[in-house]
Structure 1
Amino acid sequence: MNRSASDLGHQAEDHRWVDHAARAGMVAYGVVNLLIAWLALQLAFGDREGSTSSSGAMSQLAQQPFGKVLVWLVAVGMLLLVGWRAIEAAFGHDDEDGAKRTAKRVFSGGKALIYLAIAISAIRVATGSSGGGGGGTDSTTKKLMDLPAGQTLVFLVGAGIVGYGIFQIYHAWSGNFRDNLTAEGERGGSGTAYVAFGTAGYTAKGIAIGIVGSLFLYAAWTHSAKKSGGLDVALQKVLQQPFGPFLLGVLALGIGAYGLFCFARARHLSR
């Protein structure tokens, strides 16, 4: 019975519909990142209205003509990515051996959770249930902090997030992200542009994620949940630095480049 389930899982992982799901999801993820980049640019130029997070991006999208429909399309796209990564986590990376395969499957599972969080944000905005409440990163951190050894748990979460940010930057400058593109996607002038988008995009995402992780580490060090924060708080911290608007503008352009790379990846997907 287990063997039969495993065989079905591997057939699903190799099926063409997974390619279609991944492509559609990558387009949706590209839209999310471009919206976050636009909000970050607005913040850099002095607009303090929008939240530079996935939920803020969804709220911005919902205000456009046919916005609710577009938000639902993004939600569906992100759920398709969740399905792809979940199948990959359970049955993928068979070309790897032992610990490396396990690590890649865990990584795929982590990506599925990230995409799920964005999908939930989109669904909440589309259904009008995103406002108010005591949610947010600081409340989550407080819940962790109240657990036995909670301060250590928050520190470990922060260290993990920082590590993931560093990995994203390594991914950018080692060129490993090129494995996400087919050979055709790296050829010619368009291929050069795609690689440039990927390098800038993964670097910017890595820096932003690293700042988020640093906020968790600081919250653990000071035993204050309010010191933590998500992407919106991280970008606000960048804005508060010397030359903050310029630095935030550069970071926003990098996040936008990542969004464009997602479109390139959707077109030239290599799994």
Structure 2
Amino acid sequence: MTDLDALSQLIRSDAQARGQTISRLGYFCAPFRPDSGPLSDKVIKVYRGLRDVAALERLHQCHDDYVDALLAGDVPMPQTEFHLLDLDGAKVPVIVQEALPVDSLMRPLMQDAPVEATLEMMEAAGQVIARFWHWAEAQEGRIGFHPSIRNFAIIDGGAVFFDTFPPLIHYSREEMGRMLLTFSDKRLMRVIGPLMQRRVTGIQDEWYSPAETLVGLVGSACRLRPDHAAAYLDWGRDFVGREMTPWADEALAGLNAPPKLPGYWTGFRKLLGLQGEPNV
């Protein structure tokens, strides 16, 4: 278990003392990895604190349940802990996760590898997606998955998923829509978001659709390597026929051409400076 006193001290320290910021473009936080000390083999993710203790306790339970669900769905993951720390008069959600090698992150690998190698990575990620949804099909309640290219690492040829926030379990669609604003690290989003709550709420819909998660993966690959879009579309159509037959018709309808992000989400991303960096 994590030393919570050491964790609290680390979070209170200034940015230089914390260590390496892994990504500055995350929607919910900027994860960092300490350069030294007892947590140097961890990635730390600090989210916005709240004074609503009941909401945070529910968040904690939902996160624990979500990690359990991902593991039950045979989704490979690094060791992940969720903590609520008392910092500056508020309880702050913190995720401590086993650090993955930086050179294993799928997005930069996809940018530089030959097309044949990128298709192998897509197959590895697709297998994780298919396994999860075949498992989830037999579960009760609302559960989602956000298996984008930036949320995977490739280790020993297999895909490892590392994004557990927000926990896509138990919350209703409306509750998750509000959460997308409540925990956004971008003040601008918290200010303008409520004016477009309906559109913000719609961001999550892809995460709860088996077909759309696979289409989204293919769309990310097509945008990342547009010269190879035809190869990724061919792979996607073949994959859903092999591995995701219950959702094949819906997925195939989205794979006639390179999938595009919804216009409102593209606008949000540009406004907030989110350009698809790895969300470690």
TM-score (norm 1): 0.41
Say which structure is richer in helix.
Answer: 1
Say which structure is richer in strand.
Answer: 2
Q: Which has the higher contact order (CA 8 A, sep 6+)?
A: 1
TM-score (norm 2): 0.40
